[in-house]
Structure 1
């Protein structure tokens, strides 16, 4: 699997955003109600993407839609995402969220730029993150008996949840 350093990842993100602007896309503005097919929760809009993708391809897909992979900042967010996924994926399998350490080992950041350090909300499964087998730099949720976060290799393929900021 290719390893993406932060400058390369940001370059892809900026270029993707520029492509959206040059085509007149305004999906990411999400003013008021969420776009069709998106669910609103705590001033954000969420979209469940059932197609299994690698973490970076899932993030690029969310960027293309005007957002990022979803971040979780509270137990309420965590439960909402699990219910959104459970309602649309009968297997109750894991799904990608926007947390990763692709830029620097053991330094977790949300792909939407929100805080993921210090005393921020976390929902790791017991003994996670463990970097089992090395290079587990991406995070999926809804994993294991507790159905919480797990660090995993970024080249695995899972469904994902994208999010957009809402002005209301």
Structure 2
């Protein structure tokens, strides 16, 4: 059974995203750290259970700039100040074709921040992006997709909406953001 809730923001500010409870406003929309470790595919399915009222979808977080990379580091560290998760899943994968990395949410792969020597596809079975890697605090590593890790979801709006910015929807309310949350 799926329970759906719709949240409509009362104010819209160009630099802020009004996010549902438990979500954090960030560079391109709303983000949520999920502490329950899951395989990469299960984490992605969980994130895809969230959607905006105007047809936007949730997915694992993509990183398209240094600012987003820094935001991911802060979000992970804040997840548990006493003991942050060692690594989290993000939405990068090269499962379709080795060494051709893509973001699952369709964002352009325009920024990279791999650890030295990565991605290396060690053992021929590392097709998913974890953040950070073993030897850094803010760089990426390819990892076995079946490993269970916490993850970061990103709630963004459908690419075809007029606002073009995550979390700034137009649900018939003068451009106020709206989100639809699915819980399984």
TM interval, shorter chain, is 0.7 to 0.9
Partner in structure 1 of residue 89 of structure 2: 96
Aligned residue-pair number: 144
Deviations 1:33-91 (A, max 9, x none): 11111001123100000000000000000001220000001111111111111111314
| 1:138 paired residue number | 128
Select the residue among 10, 28, 34 that pairs with 2:19.
34
Which structure has the highest helix share of the two?
1
Q: What is the distance in 2 between the residues matched to 1:72 and 1:131?
A: 20
Q: Distance in 2 between matches of 1:140 and 1:47?
A: 16
Greater Rg, structure 1 or structure 2? Answer: 2
Displacement over 3 Å in runs of 4+:
23-27, 29-32
- Give me the CA root mean square deviation: 2.3
Q: Does the CA-based 8 Å contact 1:101-1:138 persist in structure 2? A: yes
Which of 35, 41, 55 is the equivalent residue of 2:40?
A: 55
TM-score (normalizing by structure 1): 0.77
Q: Where does the alignment leave 5 or more consecutive residues of structure 1 unmatched?
A: 1-18
- In structure 2, the partner of 1:79 is 70
Gaps of 5+ in 2: 52-57, 157-166, 169-176, 178-184
